[in-house]
Amino acid sequence: MSYVGPPFAHDVFVSYSHGDFDGDGASPLKRWSQAFARELESELRVHPKFGRELTLFFDDHHLSGQGIDPMAGLTDQLREDIGNSALVTVLMSPHYLGSKWCTEEREWWQAAQSKRALTCEERLAVARIWPTTDAWPKGLVDERGEQLIGFCFYDRERAELRPQPFEWPEPDPSSKGPFRDTLLELVGWMWQKLEVLRERVEVRKVAANDVAKLAGDAQVIYLHGRIEQAKSWERANEALTQKGFTVFPGEPDQVDTDPKKHQENRQRRVEILSACDALLLLGSGDGRALDADLVVVGRQDRHSARAVSNRLLPCGLLDTIGAPIATPQRKTAARALQIDWIDSTQEPWTLGVHDWLRQKSTSISESP
């Protein structure tokens, strides 16, 4: 399990070329790259918050599940492992640019993120370990074709005479100087990106749960209506209940002029709202009262409930009157408050509520 969490099995995937021209598996570049991966993992794990949970994958990792399984197919393993990685660290070199494997790894990762509707931006770190002259491929350059800045692990001023990376032929825990300084800078940025991605994944998880509830058959609805609307509220409550909705509260809301009681009523409303799947405001012929409900209940109380539950709470207005209240100005104001207008002047209007909730679930699931 990674720190970021599902759908990611690994927090970091290290993609590099072995630079093995002779095919004997003894390339100096491979030796340096694998030592780099070990030092990167060691520094990432120092973090007191998520170091214990962090998982880093590279092909020769000694831990099971974080390296290649010698008894399984290589291509399928790499495709799955890199696709299930939150961040990718590319060890950039001429060998990397010329490697078919490295190209495919990067493309597999990008394709997997696209299927999850996740952007690849700011999730790919380039460690420049050797000077390059060839053009960098898409995904490693910005919209103007400029190379990603990345982190340089060789001496730029002496690159022509000494292109090898710092601590050649093999960095180890005692390595200091420019190698350690640059590594720590890379690690600091990766810590931040992992935290942001974890938060993003949590938000998507909550949204997915909300989508499932909205698309289901047992939604819990808060039906707001004033006490002077009691008869209309009771009819709406009965119609929604007969269609399988669970409706709260058990009676219309009181409108109290006493400031203390008014605040207590709002607190109770927010408490119940925070456990509901949707909010419906019952429209009435009193336009000013409706305006107040749109702003106070549909905006302020709804936002307070969302802050408590940390979940979505779609809101709709049940228009039981029609033209007298459905003015263009009021509809525009409702849209600005993200409150949908539901025509309930014609039977069976409850089907419109079902359709509305399905539409909300679809729009939420398709949002980035």
Element housing 224 (H / E): strand 220-224
Cα distances (Å, whole numbers) of residue 147 to 154, 165, 183, 191:
17, 19, 20, 22
> The whole model's pTM is what?
0.59
User: What is the CATH classification number for the domain harbouring 194?
Assistant: 3.40.50.10140
Please check whether residues 187 and 305 belong to one and the same domain.
no
**Alpha carbons 154 and 182: distance in angstroms, whole number:** 10
Please check whether residues 200 and 150 belong to one and the same domain.
yes
**Alpha carbons 106 and 294: distance in angstroms, whole number:** 49
Q: Give the count of domains, the chain.
A: 2
Query: Per-residue pLDDT for the chain (368 aa), expressed as one digit of tens each?
Result: 788 888 888 999 999 998 766 555 578 999 999 999 999 999 999 988 777 888 898 766 555 555 554 434 456 777 888 888 999 999 999 999 999 889 988 998 988 888 777 788 889 999 999 999 999 998 898 888 899 999 999 999 999 999 999 999 999 999 999 999 999 999 999 999 999 888 888 776 665 555 455 445 568 899 999 998 899 999 999 999 998 889 999 999 887 778 888 888 888 899 999 888 899 999 878 889 999 999 999 999 999 998 888 777 899 999 988 889 999 999 999 999 999 999 988 888 888 888 888 887 766 544 44
Does 5 map to a domain?
no
Does 27 map to a domain?
yes
Please check whether residues 136 and 220 belong to one and the same domain.
no
Element housing 31 (H / E): helix 28-44
Does 2 map to a domain?
no
Q: Of 186, 209, 232, which one is at a domain's C-terminal end?
A: 209
> Residue 71's pLDDT is what?
37
**Alpha carbons 234 and 240: distance in angstroms, whole number:** 10
User: What SS3 state is found at 226?
Assistant: strand
Please check whether residues 168 and 300 belong to one and the same domain.
no
Please check whether residues 43 and 157 belong to one and the same domain.
yes
Q: In what order do the strands lie in the sheet with 339-343?
A: 246-248, 220-224, 278-282, 315-319, 339-343
> Residue 367's pLDDT is what?
45
Please check whether residues 288 and 172 belong to one and the same domain.
no
User: What is the CATH classification number for the domain harbouring 234?
Assistant: 3.40.50.2300
Does 3 map to a domain?
no
Q: Of 177, 209, 241, which one is at a domain's C-terminal end?
A: 209
**Alpha carbons 353 and 349: distance in angstroms, whole number:** 7
> Residue 113's pLDDT is what?
86
Please check whether residues 52 and 175 belong to one and the same domain.
yes
Please check whether residues 144 and 263 belong to one and the same domain.
no
> Residue 254's pLDDT is what?
81
Please check whether residues 160 and 45 belong to one and the same domain.
yes
Please check whether residues 30 and 153 belong to one and the same domain.
yes
**Alpha carbons 341 and 275: distance in angstroms, whole number:** 23
Please check whether residues 188 and 223 belong to one and the same domain.
no
> Residue 75's pLDDT is what?
66
Q: Of 151, 177, 209, which one is at a domain's C-terminal end?
A: 209
> Residue 366's pLDDT is what?
46
Does 4 map to a domain?
no
Q: How many CB atoms lie within 10 A of CB 32?
A: 25
Residue 315: give the domain boundaries.
Answer: 216-366
Please check whether residues 256 and 362 belong to one and the same domain.
yes
Does 268 map to a domain?
yes
Does 300 map to a domain?
yes
